[in-house]
Amino acid sequence: EVQLVESGGGLVKPGGSLRLSCAASGFTFSDTWMSWVRQAPGKGLEWVARIKSKTNGGTTDYPAPLKGRFTISRDDSENTLYLQMNSLETDDTAVYYCTTDHFHWGQGTLVTVSS
Amino acid sequence: DIVMTQTPLSSPVTLGQPASISCRSSQSLIHSNGNTYLSWLQQRPGQPPRLLIHQMSNRVSGVSDRFSGSGAGTEFTLKISRVEAEDVGVYYCMQAIQFPYIFGQGTKLEIK
């Protein structure tokens, strides 16, 4: 059974940083493209970042507005996906979901950016 | 970026009756390989999204056959043949042909 378990969310002040983790199991993580998607309170879904498998180059992609502040990475030896978020803004407040390129989803971790 | 537009944004439906949600993309979602990269996801209250249909009409294993996807090019439809109470939630279309993948605004399905 595919399992994705996010962690690392919490309350952070504007301008601060946070690193999210996603522990994956039940599938061949190293072969799978992985992504982060977020959902602001009461709002829709927004793609945050994607990382391809190493066999596909391991390249990363971000929507233009988030490029430079967010960094997605993976540790295939630990079956873990990461999202490093810097210079956080109040608009970054959201539930952050880990997903296998939209086929399987974790339960999400809440990030609140507030002074 | 590709723009995804869903209608309606809210859909009150009687139990046992059909429901239909439309989605339009600003560009064709047909890949050179012939596949159409349009997905439908369901998000029940308090739950993460769940993929129902990918590549326009391929139902995910375990998803009820009451759900079906159809369309062509830039116009797509999700149909629920007979709405059940467990279908309440928000439905999103999503284009997966070009990054960033973009979701529609969501359609809230509720019981009348």
Q: What is the mean pLDDT of chain B?
A: 96
Contact A61 B102 (CB under 8 A): no
CA distance A38 to A104: 14
Instruction: Specify the pLDDT at position A101.
Output: 83
Instruction: Specify the pLDDT at position A34.
Output: 97
Contact residues on chain A for B103, CB-CB shorter than 8 A: 44-47
B54 → chain A, closest CA residue: A103
Between B69 and A101, the more confident residue is B69
Instruction: Specify the pLDDT at position A67.
Output: 85
Q: B16-25 pLDDT, tens per residue? A: 999 999 999 9
* CB neighbours of residue B9 within 10 Å: 12
Q: How do the pLDDT tens digits run along chain A, 115 residues long?
A: 999 999 999 999 999 999 999 999 999 999 999 999 999 999 999 999 999 999 999 999 999 988 899 999 999 999 999 999 999 999 999 999 999 988 999 999 999 999 9
- Strand extents, DSSP E, B1-112: 4-7, 10-13, 19-25, 38-43, 50-54, 58-59, 67-72, 75-80, 89-95, 102-103, 107-111
B94 in contact with chain A, both atoms CB, cutoff 8 A? yes
* CB neighbours of residue B17 within 10 Å: 12
CA distance A32 to A43: 28
Chain A residues at the B interface, defined by Cβ less than 8 Å, are 37, 44-47, 50, 61-63, 97, 99, 101-108
B106 in contact with chain A, both atoms CB, cutoff 8 A? yes
Q: Hey, which residues does B6 pair with through a beta bridge?
A: B23
